[in-house]
Structure 1
């Protein structure tokens, strides 16, 4: 394998849309944390196969756990939750893989929000200790408005003021009582007629194979959606549907191409034979989250597959800048994220190769592995900074 960072990134992204790949590279060059978020594949390429952390219990993991892969959403019961919210890389792997990537994200991301090295290690320690204590309890829970604290509580409280019409206006414009997607918006680009027709065909086929309300999902418009970091360059569309009626009752859907997990080449444990990559993402998300979003479907298109989900006003991430110099706010956030990590692993235990909850509880009785995680995360955070500099100089 070449040691040249740009070459490694080019090889991984080979075949993606060139225009969007240029945008992805621009995002990677923003700061070390953006680089870290968008290069999950490098993290696992570099992770040592002889690490003691590889012998931890097997669980279903996010695979790309970092500070910005937690967020709010409205569940199928129409209540709002805070949970892990990105499962593109999800697989069956040692439970410590998510932990070490998350702790690395704390250290890499700390400088962007004005946290010093000692504080980032303090927050990392809180995350690991809370995770271990939550695992020891052996009882999964959920984060809702009534149980949230600190920055998460602020986020969930703010969602009550969000209106669907304002949310629609972020993506669309209205003319004579009809809405269409606005390609003048920053995150929307024109889709070709053939792309639109293919998406329509797939959605209609899905309708016929389910008992979903066909009138609700009547398609008004389809355009390309520019979103994400690591996934930029893959096919992605925003779909405007009739919903509860035009113009203000319309709904927005996200339709995203799914690739194999970037962790796959480094896994030593066999995975279930998923029908498609989208089926993997959807099934693991439903296993980990306490309540999944109202619409979450994997759609097959032969050699490609896509995840279909609702775009919601209630979807958002915590603003790390809102810690406003009060370390206690970040401490509570680390506690919440640690609890969610442990709850999701417990909830999905005993499924298709993941250990049962008793083994996770046994694992929590020792904390010797904390130091291994902290040591590796500190080392790798330095490497991320070096790789970021090298990447910036090469583009």
Structure 2
């Protein structure tokens, strides 16, 4: 068996077959979607290079690509724009996240409806904004009032969204009671035994919360979301919230696994902290990086498995980066913001748990040679990702 196919099969062992079939179908669509679903292959193929192996350490997302940025409601119920997926997060050289982000831009030409020249140009813009933010050395965040372009559109859409409208898209209202819409796109049905198990778990967990009634379970379904995580244990849970039917809430319960970065990190002797479990790793790093904590973000243990429980993150809360309308300045505006956000997050978590200080990150950014070396690495990883995708596309998976 081809080593790429074998590595994917091994990684996906034990996943839900129904959603795994969806995962493989998505990964065959394009090099970008393949990149999203094969994080472990990306780091396995990462070349030995000083710009990667000797850069200062930072707390990293690990699976950074242009669709892993979006808006979220924080625990203060205000809206923020940030990186929003930390399943693969780890302590790693600060350049690993920017290399993966730029490779996603280069591999995403089809999704972006952009030429190769355009993706090269905007990738360079993203890198320059990342460097400039590190040089400034002060972590900031994107404000809705001062945002522009596609990101501003996202803030406006969220400000105008009403909870009942969101619920109407994801649930069915029957005689004043909502239940999750089983559409094969966002959700799949669960067996009665699964529903009972999730309901019993939530009841136990809610009993320890200040407002247990908020988390009274009304319905449960298997959640369909993402690419890399499709097939892992994951549920969407409808809870009473502030009252039925229009103040119900949807929660996301997702199993966790070790970061895909670990084998490559061991090769360069980057030692990770000892975490109580993978869920606490993800929640801790996410809280360190994001400007304000995500609503309901909790590490929990479900059915003996560490999981993340949080407010459901709708897919429409991510930047529709393919909608730049062939106006290069509009696309540049988005990737410029992404470069800033990445640098701000790394600065925000600097000096903690083995990460380099803000001064060390800024000192690293002073030179310019590392930027050309990094872009050469992006060229190599773009080519490698295309080759891996072609192998996978022609496979029987």
Output the TM-score relative to the length of structure 2.
0.95
Asked whether the 8 Å contact 2:236–2:251 carries over to 1, the reply is: yes
Aligned to 1:295: 296
Aligned to 2:241: 243
Aligned to 1:372: 373
* Deviations 1:151-183 (CA, angstroms, capped at 9, x unpaired): 111211122221211211222111111111122
* Distance verdict in 2 for CA 1:302–1:366, change over 3 Å: farther
Q: Does 1:182 align with 2:177?
A: no
Larger mean Cα displacement after TM superposition, 379-388 or 85-94: 379-388
Aligned to 1:149: 148
* Deviations 1:239-263 (CA, angstroms, capped at 9, x unpaired): 1111111111111111111111111
Aligned to 1:54: 53
Asked whether the 8 Å contact 1:53–1:369 carries over to 2, the reply is: no
* Deviations 1:333-366 (CA, angstroms, capped at 9, x unpaired): 1110011000000000111101111111111111
Aligned to 2:72: 73
Secondary structure in 2 aligned to 1:143? coil
RMSD after superposition? 1.6
Q: Does 1:160 align with 2:159?
A: yes
Q: CA deviation at 1:212?
A: 3.1
Q: Distance in 2 between matches of 1:273 and 1:198?
A: 30
Secondary structure in 1 aligned to 2:185? coil
Aligned to 1:118: 117
Q: CA deviation at 1:185?
A: 5.3
Q: Distance in 2 between matches of 1:191 and 1:281?
A: 26
Aligned to 2:274: 273
Q: Distance in 1 between matches of 2:378 and 2:49?
A: 16
Larger mean Cα displacement after TM superposition, 313-322 or 195-204: 313-322
Secondary structure in 1 aligned to 2:394? helix
Counterpart mapping for 1:273-352 below 5 A: 273-301=274-302, 303-311=304-312, 316-352=317-353
Q: Distance in 2 between matches of 1:158 and 1:181?
A: 23
Asked whether the 8 Å contact 2:55–2:95 carries over to 1, the reply is: yes
Secondary structure in 1 aligned to 2:194? helix
Asked whether the 8 Å contact 1:216–1:241 carries over to 2, the reply is: yes
Q: CA deviation at 1:111?
A: 3.2
Secondary structure in 1 aligned to 2:226? coil
Q: Does 1:259 align with 2:260?
A: no
Aligned to 1:226: 224
Q: Distance in 2 between matches of 1:109 and 1:139?
A: 30
Q: Which runs of 5+ in 2 are unaligned?
A: none
Output the TM-score relative to the length of structure 1.
0.96
Asked whether the 8 Å contact 1:73–1:314 carries over to 2, the reply is: no
Q: Does 1:10 align with 2:9?
A: yes
Secondary structure in 2 aligned to 1:390? helix
* Deviations 1:68-112 (CA, angstroms, capped at 9, x unpaired): 000011111221111000000000000000011111111100233
Secondary structure in 2 aligned to 1:144? coil
Q: Which runs of 5+ in 1 are unaligned?
A: none
Q: Distance in 1 between matches of 2:139 and 2:97?
A: 17
Asked whether the 8 Å contact 1:38–1:229 carries over to 2, the reply is: yes
Secondary structure in 2 aligned to 1:78? coil
Q: CA deviation at 1:276?
A: 1.3
Q: Does 1:169 align with 2:168?
A: yes
Q: Distance in 2 between matches of 1:282 and 1:377?
A: 29
Q: Distance in 1 between matches of 2:290 and 2:282?
A: 12
Asked whether the 8 Å contact 1:162–1:314 carries over to 2, the reply is: no
Aligned to 2:355: 354
Q: Distance in 1 between matches of 2:264 and 2:321?
A: 32
Q: CA deviation at 1:315?
A: 6.0
Q: Distance in 2 between matches of 1:197 and 1:269?
A: 42
Secondary structure in 1 aligned to 2:5? helix
Asked whether the 8 Å contact 1:62–1:89 carries over to 2, the reply is: yes
Aligned to 2:389: 388
Aligned to 1:39: 38
Deviating above 4 A after TM superposition, structure 1's stretches of 4 or more consecutive aligned residues are 312-315
Secondary structure in 2 aligned to 1:394? coil
Q: CA deviation at 1:184?
A: 3.9
